[in-house]
Amino acid sequence: MEHDGRADESDKRKLRRDLLSVRRGLPEDDVRESGRALAARALELPELARARTVAAYVSVGTEPGTGALLEALRARGTRVLLPALLPDNDLDWGEYTGPDSLARVRHGGKMALFEPSGARLGPGAVTDADVVLLPGLAVDARGMRLGRGGGSYDRVLARLERAGARPRLVVLLYDAEVVDRVPAQAHDRPVHAVVTPSGVRRFGR
């Protein structure tokens, strides 16, 4: 049967709208509490305990909170890389050395992001990571991740593949965002695990 990529894109857009709508309705206290629980669960991952370098991100709005996790990784002595959005939606990287190493940056009409304020290490810096923590809106039983649609992390995953880098890929989500199936296309890559406030689920590769 011929695969209709346009139908998949349309399904992705609808699913994104539905999931973002639920996130927007989350009370601030729930977001904060989820962030603490998420950090505790993620820190139990042996992959994170062993990692010398972790590529992460700073959550914004009602995304599952990463602040507590970033601080805990830094306290462990883990080198943490954070993304900086480039004009073409690709990602550059810089080191996280604490909350004062972040700058609030607004990109056009988009939501303001918190990005590393120190030296830029180049888009290829992510290939040094032992673990890459990915934002997303959902993941399914196969480990297929639904992103926000900007394509930034598709580029990151393609860069890792080209470099022959094999970091563990872990997506951070709310419990209800682990779903039966997300629409996937040929270029989509499964993740190794999902961390939610209630636990960790691994996917076979």
Q: Is 145 annotated for ligand binding?
A: yes
Q: Is 147 annotated for ligand binding?
A: yes
Q: Is 57 annotated for ligand binding?
A: no
Q: Is 126 annotated for ligand binding?
A: no
Q: Is 149 annotated for ligand binding?
A: yes
Q: Is 63 annotated for ligand binding?
A: yes
Q: Is 150 annotated for ligand binding?
A: yes
Q: Is 194 annotated for ligand binding?
A: no
Q: What string of DSSP letters covers the chain? A: ----HHHHHHHHHHHHHHHHHHHHT--HHHHHHHHHHHHHHHTT-HHHHH-SEEE-----TTSPP-HHHHHHHHHTT-EEEEEEE-TTS-EEEEE--SGGGEEEE--TTSPPEEEE-S----GGGGGG-SEEEE--SEE-TT-BEE--SS-HHHHHHHHHHHHT---EEEEE--GGGB-S-----TT--B-SEEEETTEEEE---
Q: Is 148 annotated for ligand binding?
A: yes
Q: Is 15 annotated for ligand binding?
A: yes
Q: Which residue positions form the known binding site?
A: 12-16, 58, 63, 145-153
Q: Which residue positions form the known binding site for ATP?
A: 12-16, 145-153
Q: Which residue positions form the known binding site for substrate?
A: 58, 63
